[in-house]
Amino acid sequence: MEGKPKKPVCWIPVASIGHAIEVLIILTAPGATVSGWPGKRGSSTKLLAEVPLNNGESLWVVFREEIVTPKVAAIIKETKAKVLAAHQTAIDFSESGLRGMLIGTEPDGSKVFYEVALTQP
C-alpha cells in the first residue's frame, strides 16, 4: 500500500513543563524543493511521516516543541474552566488521565487543536 507507515505507531515525546508539542500537517506541490522535510532547518521540526500522493503532492507530518505563550495559556485556562463548570456534576474530573480537545482557528486561517489534561488536582 502506497504511503503505508513503516511502523504502525510513532510515539511523540512529552513536552517539557511550560512547552507544548506542535504537530504540523503540510502539503508540498509536485517537484517542490524540500531539504530533508519542511521546517527541518528553519523550525527544528522532526519528521513523523511523508506520504507521496497520487497527484504528485507530498503530505508531511512533522512536530516540534514550542513554548506555550501567555496568550495560549490563557485561552486553555479559560476554556478548561468553562468545561469544568458546565460538566461538574456529569463527569468525575478527579479521574486520572482525563483529556480534552480544544479546536480553533489561527489569525492566518490555519486550524489549531489543543489536547489538554482536564484532571483537577
Residue 56 half-sphere exposure toward CB, CA atoms < 13 A: 5
Task: For residue range 3-51, list pLDDT tens digits in order.
Answer: 555 667 788 888 888 888 888 899 999 989 888 899 898 889 999 999 9
Q: What is the pTM of this model?
A: 0.70
Question: Residues near 81 by Cβ (< 8 Å), separated by ≥ 6?
Answer: none
Task: For residue range 88-114, list pLDDT tens digits in order.
Answer: 666 666 666 777 788 888 888 888 888
| Dist CA 99 CA 56 (whole Å) | 37
